[in-house]
Chain A
Amino acid sequence: MRGASALQGLLTELPDRPVRVLAVWEPVLPTDKGPPTARVLSRLEDPRVEQYWDPGRVLSGRILAAAPRVPAFALFSGQLDAAWDLAAVYPPGVRWQGGVPTPVYCGNPVVGSLDSLRAHLAVAVALPSGP
């Protein structure tokens, strides 16, 4: 949950960057009895954020399945049954084809990855529009 607040702080630092955040909440800890409360959701107040509740950890499962072929996800390979507290960065142009796309960076935990995330988001440049 601290990761959400930290990420919001990062977005506040970069108000004009073309960034879209897909925030997926999933039950991992014994205290995760249900979806995030409105108060928790309000930690990510930036309009560039879309929030999802993933009760079956579907996306987490996809990331674990991709871990053997995606080096950025390798830290989740093997012993864990859930990929969480992570932030994966995708540059403009990357499309979701087949499995989970390969990120240019994956930080875990989020709070400990802020400097790297800042560096990646700061160079975010939108692709030129087509003809």
Chain B
Amino acid sequence: MTQRLQAPVVVLLVAVAAIATLVVVRAFPPASKRPLRTLEAGRMADFEARFDAARDSTRLLLLLSPT
């Protein structure tokens, strides 16, 4: 009786662990792959320099809300 119960429980635990892993991975991609620079008044010159540095390309300025 106990052994018959164990198999479904193990399957359930594995499924829960897999779902939890998927949720965590999707919610928190590796930070190093998504660098986020802070833009402040004192750093505008750096931002402008980045804009100019790419002047061989078409540039797109995007302003967005995070939510």
Contact = CB atoms under 8 A, between A and B. Distances in A.
Interface of A: 1, 3-4, 7, 17-29, 31-32, 34-42, 50-56, 58-60, 62-63, 83-96, 101, 103, 110, 117, 120-121, 124, 126-127, 129
Contact of B61 (A36, A56, A103): A103
The 9 closest A-B pairs by CB, nearest first: A124-B58, A20-B54, A36-B66, A18-B57, A96-B48, A41-B34, A54-B39, A31-B67, A23-B62
B62 A1 contact: no
Interface in B4-57: 26-29, 31, 34-41, 44, 47-48, 50-52, 54-57
A3 B55 CA distance: 24
A17 B29 contact: no
B41 A52 contact: no
A117 B12 CA distance: 48
B36 to A, nearest CB: 5
Interface of B: 26-29, 31, 34-41, 44, 47-48, 50-52, 54-67
A17 B58 CA distance: 9
Contacts of A94: 55, 59
B44 to A, nearest CB: 6
Contacts of A90: 51, 58-61
